[in-house]
Chain A
Amino acid sequence: MKLTCAQEHLAKGLSIVGRAVPSRSPMAILSNILLATDGGRLKLAATNLDIGITCWIEAQAEDEGAITIPARLLQEFVSSLPSGEVALTLKPDRLTAHLRCGASEANIKGVDAEEFPPIPRVDGQVTASVEREALHTAVHQVALAAATDETRPVLAGVLFRLRGGKLTLAAADGFRLAVRTVEVSAPVDTSYDVIVPARATVELARIVPDDAEMIDLTVTPNRSQVLFHTGDPATGRGGITAIELVSRLIEGTFPNYEQIIPARFATRVVATTKDFQNATRIASFFARDASNIVRIHAQPGEELTPGKLIVAATSADVGDAVSGIDAVIEGNDLQIAFNAKYLGDVLGVLNTAQLSLEMNTPASPGVIRPVGGDGYLYVIMPMHTQNAGR
């Protein structure tokens, strides 16, 4: 194995696949990164057995070969090198990598590439191509509603539902639901429901570079693995020619979330996202000691006075806080209580200036949507206290 590549490309590639390296694992080999020549490029790969990330970077390979090297040491070494060409060769024992760049060189002991667990191959037809920007935002807005524990495994995942040329992402942890629909370019005449572990979607959003255009999804015929692919070997930019993330899929059926979404409302609030977010943040400081309860009071305006949205929290120990923000309120006067975290989560991911909050009763769900935005909605279940609604 003998090749050269740019230090920036190698450093970037390592930071991408490094996301899949487990911080602690009983399998020592998993804390290594696989380096292999692949058709004149350098392939980097890492896996924690739940997900595997593979990344190809431009390189001039003179000799084929492969090795695995401890991820952390390699990352630290490469990122400290000056920019320039890095020459990588394998020592005759095939277990030591020699790296040289500028004035520095290093020998790093590795493990035979044969021992590295194979990252599952996902063959088959691409089932959907989505704009990077759209998928990135959708994951960002949806994954936060997934459950963080594994009691009901399907709830720890994000539903990817492909129907009639649209891809819908949905996640719910039992107390809230987030749904986002994105357009699929080059619609394929197929439909499916698969559940991707939330962590895999978050990693996907993190590793796909800003300048990527499309992300392709491929699902194995037996619905056990999903592959996200971006980039093109021929036209790769920034030295990263292609990135792939393979994840296992969660078995099971996602709850029928559509029936949870209320069809009508008795009170609708339209408020400035930033104002509502600030008011919620202020209340959350006081809600911390009071079961995280934030009380919301929607007061419709009169002929001459605008509507008000009151956001308040009270802690017996700490004190209380109230913020009143201007809002357009249709329908009934209503008081309701929400968990400050669930409210804060969604307010942090809305990317429109205004939002709408639709409600019916203090005991039924509230629905938050971006105003003038696209197919996003967030259903949040209310809380109850002795004082709620009074």
Chain B
Amino acid sequence: MPLRVLPPEVARLIAAGEVVTRPADVVKELVENAIDAVIERQAHDRSAEPPAIRVEIRSGGLALIRVVDNGSGIAADDVELAFQRHATSKVATAADLDAIHTLGFRGEALASIGAVAQVQILTRPPEASAGVSVTVEQGQVTSRRQQGCGAGTTVAVRNIFANVPARRKFLRGQTSEATQISQLVTHYALAYPEIRFVLVNDDRATLQTSGRGDLAETVVDVLGVKVAEQLLPVADADAAVAVSGYVGTPELIRPTRSGLTFFVNRRIIRSPMLGHAVTDAYPAAMLAGRFPVAILNVSIPAELVDVNVHPTKAEVRFASDHAVYQLVHRAVRMTLGDRAPLPELALTPPEAWSDTPLPAGPDQERRPAVRSTTTDPGAVAAAQTLAFFAPSASNGAAGDATAATGARERQRDGAAEARPEPTAIRLSALRPVGQVQGTYVVAEDDAGVYFVDQHAAHEAILYQQMRETRQCAPPAICASQELLQPQAIDLTPRQAQSLAGQGEQLASLGFGVEPFGERSGLLRRVPSGIRHRDYVRTLLEILDLLAAQAEDPSATSAFDQASARLACHSAVRDGDTLSLDEMRELLAQVERQPNLWSYCPHGRPIFLRLSSAQLARDFRRR
């Protein structure tokens, strides 16, 4: 076949294919444009109406996608230009590409969408007296007329991929497309709490945020109270980079990475590196192949990040991956380790009482859902709200203003709701009261009553100790106890192999074991403190773990997992009766661990707290 230059309509379709492969891509491009537009308008006119973006879809976006904003609009004369490739108002010179503050910048969005669908734009800049409506089909303008409308832009995309049957064939079902779109809008709603988002799917409003600039509130709006209650605020910064947002408690675990949402300068991105930074901050054994939930924004000066590396801008490149990883990891770690709140215990009154309506209190208190973990939640929550996702200084004056107002409102709300109880761990001098069900230690301090899972608490202490032993330099080995008589152990070939190759790892855990024939080992020493009954089983499990790591070196640290396993087998068991002295000792050990997780290495909570105030409320003493 002879070579030839492609006709323009074919070239257009090919280019469009890079940007637009499914309805969600259209929504992404349009919503990003809308966000840029509303922010631009706020920046010029503080008295403008509060920013709002409405997304409407039908049949998963295949029949209709309509995005309505009340932003700065497009001047009547420029509308057709917007449909040309590389037509943009956001970048003028090559230098601008090094400091991009807007979401869109390439000028490809409308051109690409226009190539694969029928697009109608209705737009009016606030200062213009009348709007203009332009319809484009397959890249050609088919209609243009003046029309009255509100300030802002409405883009309606119909019959997407009608002219690209191949693409249409590869789409998943309508529900799947709708889910994608919903997730996308959710993410942007979280990134921009100061913009009011509405998503209407087949005439049903499925998502609605207040747009008051308060992230905590937005989190409740989009994720629900239940999830929001299990989120912990993250905020940390170094000289150049700041990270803020929320991570889930170790209880909030998902089977996939779907709960990990990252923004860089409030642009949603995919980043395996950030995923690792978060996941690695959780105890490996707890996750065991599952993933935590995180919604984090990395604020980074535009010159330290390149957003122009991916056709749909789904990935970015940092000047220093390492620095960003370190910061995010540290921030999440601190949030989880030092300040994870104790899960609160809610008392349910017996059924018989329920005909008496409870005071309105509890419901109102549900509202501030995302718990603060500091000593003065009211004030700090406000401060965090200010910091969180606050637009960077260069483009965000308007956002700041709205966020600040929201925060002040919240602060007042918080005061009115009067729930200034710190829920942070402050375990000074817990007094053991007794043990219930052979499993939980009940303790109290001045602030409330605590239920402590004896096994989980002990396990967490041991795990922490092992990690510390490991981390000191030179790495110490765990103390071990010699056996009276060496014990022969039968091994699978896999276990035998890992014994042959990993004797050093085992020794550092406190096991003294040597190969003894083809398929067995001779156990001479065991880690001190391990329960008698479990040491052989523990050793076999650890050999399996080490074998798995040898086969797949990229697996998360087998040592961490092995430590967790060992801690579990060394800890007191459910059903072990503890004397009051033993309970006191356990609680004292917990108190001595400065970085103790409130969760055991398996991710189960260690403490449940019933605050004195909650007790008083439930007994209607006040």
Q: Does B482 contact A (CB under 8 A)?
A: yes
On whether the beta carbons of A176 and B484 are closer than 8 Å, the reply is: yes
The distance from the CB of A251 to the nearest CB of chain B, in whole angstroms, is 18
Q: Is the CB of B592 within 8 A of A174?
A: no
Asked if B484 and A383 sit within 8 Å, CB to CB, the answer is no
Does the CB pair B532–A151 fall under 8 Å?
yes
Contact in complex: B528, A292 (CB < 8 Å):
yes
**Does B482 contact A382, Cβ atoms closer than 8 Å?**
yes
> Is the CB of B480 closer than 8 A to any CB of chain A?
yes
A306 at the interface (CB under 8 A from B): no
Give the total of A residues in contact with B, Cβ under 8 Å: 31
**Closest-CB distance, B474 to chain A (whole angstroms):** 8
A150 close to B (CB within 8 Å): yes
Chain B's closest residue to A293 (CB) is B479
Q: Are A291 and B479 in touch, CB under 8 angstroms?
A: yes
Residue of B nearest to A255 (CB): B485
Interface contacts (Cβ under 8 Å), in number, total: 68
CB distance from A201 to the nearest CB of B (A): 19
Indicate with 1 or 0, residue by residue over A278-292, a CB within 8 angstroms of chain B CB atoms.
000000000011111
B interface with A by C-beta (< 8 Å)? 476-485, 512, 525, 528-529, 531-534, 585, 589, 592
**Alpha-carbon distance between A334 and B512 when the two chains are bound, in angstroms:** 22
Do A385 and B589 touch across chains, with their CB atoms under 8 A apart? no
In the complex, which residues of chain A have a beta carbon less than 8 angstroms from the beta carbon of B532? 147-149, 151, 155, 173-174
Query: What is the minimal beta-carbon distance from A62 to any residue of chain B, in angstroms?
Result: 45
- Interface pair A260/B528, CB less than 8 Å apart: no
Q: How far is the CB of B488 from chain A (nearest CB, A)?
A: 13
CA of A293 to CA of B525, assembled, Å: 15
Known A289-B589, A384-B525, A386-B476; contact A174-B484, beta-carbon cutoff 8 A: yes
**Distance in Å: Cβ of B534 to nearest Cβ of chain A:** 8
Tell me which of A151, A177, A291, A381 contacts B482 (CB under 8 A): A381
CB distance from A10 to the nearest CB of B (A): 31
Enumerate chain A residues within 8 angstroms of B512, measured Cβ to Cβ.
384
Q: How far is the CB of A188 from chain B (nearest CB, A)?
A: 31
Closest approach, in angstroms, between the C-beta of B293 and any C-beta of chain A? 34
Pairs of residues from A and B, 7 with the lowest C-beta to C-beta distance, nearest first: A151-B533, A291-B479, A381-B482, A149-B533, A291-B528, A385-B479, A386-B476
Residue of B485, B531, B534, B585 near A288 (CB, 8 A) is: B585
Compute how far the CA of A291 lies from the CA of B465 in the bound complex, rounded to whole angstroms.
10
CB pair B531 A149 closer than 8 Å: yes
Interface presence of A363 (CB below 8 A) = yes
Contact B480 A384 (CB under 8 A): yes
CA separation between A162 and B591, bound complex, in Å? 52
User: Looking at chain B's contact residues, is the secondary structure mostly helix, strand, loop, or mixed?
Assistant: mixed
Asked whether A379 is an interface residue with its Cβ less than 8 Å from the other chain, the reply is yes
Residues of B within 8 Å of A290, CB to CB, are 479
How many angstroms from the CA of A19 to the CA of B6 in the assembled complex?
98
**Residues on A facing B (Cβ under 8 Å):** 147-151, 155, 172-177, 255, 260, 288-293, 317, 339, 363, 365, 379, 381-386
Q: Which residues of B contact A255 (CB under 8 A)?
A: 484-485
8 Å CB contact of B480 from A148, A150, A172, A383 = A383
Are A339 and B481 in contact, CB atoms less than 8 angstroms apart? yes
- Return A384 CB to nearest CB of chain B, in Å: 5
> Do residues A383 and B528 form an inter-chain contact, with CB atoms below 8 A?
yes
Which residues of chain A are near B585, meaning CB under 8 Å? 288
Could you show 10 A-B contacts with beta carbons less than 8 Å apart? A149-B531, A174-B532, A177-B484, A260-B484, A288-B585, A293-B528, A317-B592, A363-B482, A381-B481, A384-B512
Output the nearest chain A residue to B507 by Cβ-Cβ distance.
Answer: A384
Q: Write out the residue numbers on chain B whose beta carbons fall within 8 Å of the beta carbon of A339.
A: 481, 528
Q: A291 contacts which chain B residues (CB < 8 A)? A: 478-479, 528-529
- Given the interface contacts A149-B533, A291-B529, does A384 sit within 8 Å of B482 by beta carbon? yes
The distance in angstroms between the C-alpha atoms of A339 and B528, with both chains bound, is 9
**Which residues of A sit under 8 angstroms from B485, Cβ to Cβ?**
174, 255, 260
Contact partner of A383 among B479, B531, B589, CB < 8 A? B479
Which of B477, B525, B531, B533 is within 8 Å of A386, CB to CB?
B477
Contact of A150 among B479, B528, B533 (CB under 8 A): B533
Determine the distance from Cα of A199 to Cα of B418 in the docked complex, in whole angstroms.
57
| Chain A hits for B480, CB < 8 A | 383-385
Name the contact of B484 in the complex, choosing from A150, A365, A385 (C-beta under 8 A).
A365
Closest residue of B by beta carbon distance from A148: B532
**Measured CA separation A147–B477 after assembly (Å):** 26
Chain B residues near A149 (CB-CB < 8 A): 531-533
Residues on the A chain within 8 Å of B589, using CB: 289
Minimal beta-carbon separation of A231 from chain B (angstroms): 34
* Across-interface contacts of B534 in A (CB, < 8 A): 151
A211 CB → nearest B CB, Å: 32
Q: How far is the CA of A149 from the CA of B528 in the complex (A)?
A: 16
CA distance A288 to B478 in the complex (A): 15
Contacts of A260 in B (CB 8 A): 484-485
Partner of A379, one of B478, B484, B533: B484
CB distance from A124 to the nearest CB of B (A): 34
Partner of A381, one of B476, B478, B479, B483: B483
Provide the bound-state CA to CA distance between A339 and B476, in Å: 18
Quote the shortest CB–CB distance from A7 to chain B (angstroms): 33
**B477 & A175 in contact (Cβ 8 Å cutoff):** no
Residues of B within 8 A of A151 (CB): 532-534
Decide: A381 near B528, CB < 8 A? Known: A293-B479, A317-B592, A386-B477. Answer: no
